[in-house]
């Protein structure tokens, strides 16, 4: 299982220390949640902070935009050195165009679904993206309870991907710990985002390793 630790749960007063800890861990990517206070009821951090993190990180950046109109920011996300830019299905009027712009900018493209958004809506985009991010909490905050309905959504997504000959990675985000991570691994998730469980652990690198070994 690939692991993408969520910086939202890091200690912002000791960010360099926490990024170094992730550099020295078995994490595959570094997950960065950008929030606008409109699409989600919270505001996190923006591009200057991501640039600073990019300078410190040896892991590829997995940037998750929880904002309306993400198309406006493709160039800025690219200029932050992101490897993967994920936008919400619910936030894009012209999703196919946004995905094209992300690819034209040289990044991998991901599409995210909120817990109440059905997988079937991805029918005409799933073959065009590199990753599908299934939210297992309502986005906006770390430390929320895992919504187990995502397990059925993984099965539906796998079926849809087979029909469409799609090869996107399946990433799940929200409330992921050793127990929910195990259920996600059994359901067929390829990558998990984890925040509170990892950063509040007495040994975050070991916690990353536990998820990685699932
Ligand atoms: O996108 C989000 C929350 O909106 C997540 O990336 C969280 O940051 C994950 O944190 P935990 O639920 O694992 O604490």
What structural domains does the chain harbor? 2-212 (3.20.20.70)
ipTM of model:
0.96
Residue 173 a catalytic site member: yes
Q: How far apart are CA 128 and CA 111, in angstroms?
A: 10
Nearest one of 199, 155, 148, 201 to 174, comparing CA atoms: 148
Q: What pLDDT sits at residue 61? A: 98
Ligand 1 atom nearest the C-alpha of 9 is: 8
Q: What pLDDT sits at residue 70? A: 98
Vertex 198 angle, CA 186 and 211, to 5°: 25
Q: What pLDDT sits at residue 154? A: 98
Q: What pLDDT sits at residue 96? A: 98
* Contact 204 CB / ligand 1 (< 6 Å): no
Per-residue H/E/C for 147-173: CCCHHHHHHHHHHHHHHCCCCCEEEEE
Q: How far apart are CA 183 and CA 9, in angstroms?
A: 22
Q: What pLDDT sits at residue 179? A: 97
Burial 171-199 (b: 16+ CB within 10 A, else e): bbbbbbbeebbebbbebebbbbbbbbbbb
6 is in an annotated binding site: yes
| SS3 state at 22 | helix
Whole-number Å distance, alpha carbon 56 to ligand 1 midpoint, is 21
Question: Are the beta carbons of 45 and 34 closer than 8 angstroms?
Answer: yes
Whole-prediction pTM value?
A: 0.97
* Contact 205 CB / ligand 1 (< 6 Å): no
Q: How far is CA 36 from CA 9, 39, 40, 66, in A?
A: 17, 6, 7, 7
Q: What pLDDT sits at residue 176? A: 98
| Residue segments in the chain with a per-residue pLDDT below the cut of 70 | none
Q: What pLDDT sits at residue 209? A: 97
- Options 33, 36, 71, 130, the catalytic residue: 33
Residue written as tokens 């109109």?
69
Residue 33 a catalytic site member: yes
């Amino acid at each position: 299982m690939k692991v993408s630790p969520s910086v939202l749960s890091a200690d912002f007063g000791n960010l360099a220390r926490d990024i170094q800890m992730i550099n020295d861990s078995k994490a595959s990517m570094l997950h960065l949640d950008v929030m606008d206070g409109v699409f989600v009821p919270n505001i996190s951090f923006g591009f200057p902070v991501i640039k600073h993190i990019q300078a410190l990180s040896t892991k590829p950046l997995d940037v998750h935009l929880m904002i309306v109109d993400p198309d406006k920011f493709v160039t800025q996300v690219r200029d932050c050195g992101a490897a993967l830019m994920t936008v919400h299905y619910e936030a894009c009027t012209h999703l196919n165009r946004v995905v094209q712009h992300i690819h034209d900018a040289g990044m991998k493209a991901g599409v995210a679904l909120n817990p109440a958004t059905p997988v079937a809506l991805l029918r005409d985009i799933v073959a065009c993206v590199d990753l599908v991010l299934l939210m297992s909490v309502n986005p906006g905050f770390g430390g929320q309870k895992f919504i187990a309905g995502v397990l059925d959504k993984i099965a539906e997504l796998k079926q849809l991907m087979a029909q469409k000959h799609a090869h996107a990675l399946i990433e799940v985000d929200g409330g992921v710990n050793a127990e929910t991570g195990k259920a996600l691994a059994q359901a067929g998730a390829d990558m998990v985002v984890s925040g509170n469980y990892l950063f509040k652990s007495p040994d975050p690198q070991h916690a990353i390793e536990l998820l990685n070994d699932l």
